[in-house]
Homo-oligomer: A and B are copies of this chain.
Amino acid sequence: MSGNSFGKLFTVTTFGESHGPAIGCVIDGCPPGLALTEADIQPELDRRKPGTSRHVTQRQEPDAVQILSGVYEGFTTGTPIALLIRNEDQRSKDYGNIVESFRPGHADYTYWHKYGVRDPRGGGRSSARLTAPVVGAAAIAKKWLKEQYGTEFAGCMRQLGDIAVPFQDFAHVSANPFFAATADAALIAQMETYMDELRKAGDSIGARIDVVARNVPVGLGQPIYDKLDADIAYAMMGINAVKGVEIGAGFASVAQRGSEHGDELTPQGFVGNHAGGVLGGISTGQDITVSIAIKPTSSIRTPRRSIDKAGNPVTVETFGRHDPCVGIRATPIAEAMLALVLMDHALMHRAQCGDVRVATPDIAGKH
Q: Which of B4, B254, B283, B302 contacts A80 (CB 8 A)?
A: B4
Contact of A265 among B68, B80, B237, B306 (CB under 8 A): B306
Contact between B116 and A33, CB atoms less than 8 A apart: yes
Contact assessment for B203 and A258 in the assembled complex, using a CB-CB cutoff below 8 Å: yes
Copies in the complex: 4
Q: How large is the interface on A (under 10, 10 to 19, 20 to 34, 35 or more residues)?
A: 35 or more
**Is B80 a contact of A111 with CB atoms below 8 Å?**
no
Question: Looking at the complex, which one of B80, B206, B230, B264 makes contact with A261 (CB distance below 8 Å)?
Answer: B206
Among A96-140, those with CB < 8 Å from B are 102-107, 109-111, 113-119, 124-126, 130
Chain B, Cβ-Cβ closest to A305: B264
Stretch at the interface among A14-22, A46-54, A184-192: A14-22
Neighbouring B residues of A222 by C-beta, 8 Å = 2-4
C-alpha gap A84/B57 in the complex (Å): 29
| Complex Cα spacing A245 to B293, Å | 10
List chain B residues, Cβ under 8 A from A23: 69
Contacts of A174 in B (CB 8 A): none
Question: CB of A353 within 8 A of chain B?
Answer: yes
CB < 8 Å neighbour of A243 from B276, B299, B311, B349 = B276
Q: Collect the chain B residues with CB atoms within 8 Å of residue A276's CB.
A: 243
- A 157-197 contacts with B by CB, 8 A: 159, 161-162
The interface residues of chain B lying within 8 Å CB-to-CB of A203 are 257-259
- Whether A238 lies near B302 (C-beta < 8 A) is no
Contact A293 B13 (CB under 8 A): no
CA distance A229 to B295 in the complex (A): 14
Residues A334-366 near B (CB distance < 8 A):
347-355, 361-363
Q: Is A61 an interface residue (CB 8 A)?
A: no
Chain B residues in 8 Å Cβ range of A271: 305
Give the residues in chain B near A350, CB-CB below 8 Å.
350-351, 354
A352 touches B238 (CB 8 A): no
Q: Which residues of B contact A56 (CB under 8 A)?
A: none
Q: Are A13 and B1 in contact (CB under 8 A)?
A: no
